[in-house]
Structure 1
């Protein structure tokens, strides 16, 4: 973590945190534990509050532990279930005949009005259409999934385009993308990979400049970080941290 501490260097790309704490077991943002490993002495649990109050992990979860004790199957199953439910929800909402202007209509207005109509206004006007609002009001309450998955799908997108096509095809297409939104990743070889990005991130051992000429040892950390974690050696210790930036 040290190379990425705020003000550690003069390069802003490396100023990633100013304090961190172990979190994930008590709030559902950590890891599922493989059945039978609940008593593993190497499981990691949340740091207590400053007054000493303990933060016990939710049943079947932890803030980390040996890779072999952590379950990556359950998050994948839940991701597919939530995506399928989202597809069903939009199909139900959109079937009542109320018109919905596409997001492209608002973007075109933004482009043509040259500053009189802002980008945030365009997204907000699309978001507050009754049917779109109904979808997101429900979606935002139900898509936080324990086990590293916080879809980040409060990001506004054109729902008709996103959910177009067959349900199963949609789930197959979106599930790997959803799994990339589990949070930033610090790899064994010292790369800080920002969630949802596929560039090389920041290489801690190199110092400045950023980016450097190197590449991660395993490119999976860029394209499929959950599989990267899943395929690490059994005794690799994985830990979830909450970083203040």
Structure 2
């Protein structure tokens, strides 16, 4: 099975090879890679519980640099969509986003309203001489909530950079965006041979919808490429 998968991936990837031979009439495409391997590299799929030993699962044996890999049974680089647990990473990401959102809101409520960095940059760009760059940076960093946050490294790790910009608005939308980002990688190569760079909420949503719409027996594989 693995040989068939490698052959199929190779055929699908071929049009995007930097070193391909271009024949007359070939479609013009953007080249993206010069060598690749099956390798999730931190983006491996969790396996549906109870199917860890299914022979249809795909696990690359070596990294792109040739180093041997040893994936735990609960993870794989691909296989039939029905064997891949696509929902657990999404649920975990949504739960983490909710925790960060609610924790920041509760923490910030104890201080004067905190402005996002964009607020100060807008002032700077509107009047660069009257409100210089260093003043914008200083005013942003010295807001009481952010001063207090800097003394709480665990909380800072949870809420991330510029929480006043990211952890606001609709909680549900924030959780959906986090869930959509849980499975995405920089690019999607579809069954129809379309290479789609993945960036931004709309593309992330499409990535998830595309995976979800595949038939249960469709083989999904993580590929790491050098480009």
**Superposition TM-score, scaled by structure 1 size:** 0.64
Shift of 1:44: 1.0
Structure with the higher fraction of residues in helix conformation = 2
The residue that corresponds to 1:163 in the other structure is 167
Unaligned stretches of 5+ residues in structure 1: 141-153, 200-220
CA distance in 2, matches of 1:136, 1:194: 33
Aligned residues: 200
* SS in structure 1 of the partner of residue 79 of structure 2: strand
Q: 1:62 to 1:127 in 2, by over 3 A?
A: farther
The 5 Å alignment of 1:45-84 reads 45-49=59-63, 54-84=68-98
Shift of 1:90: 1.1
The residue that corresponds to 1:18 in the other structure is 34
1:138 aligns with 2:161: no
Q: CA RMSD in A?
A: 3.8
Shift of 1:238: 0.8
* Equivalent of residue 43 in structure 1, options 57, 74, 77: 57
Q: 1:191 to 1:93 in 2, by over 3 A?
A: same
* SS in structure 2 of the partner of residue 224 of structure 1: helix
Shift of 1:70: 0.7
Is contact 1:98–1:131 with CA below 8 Å preserved after alignment? no
CA distance in 2, matches of 1:185, 1:117: 42
**Superposition TM-score, scaled by structure 2 size:** 0.68
CA distance in 1, matches of 2:167, 2:217: 40
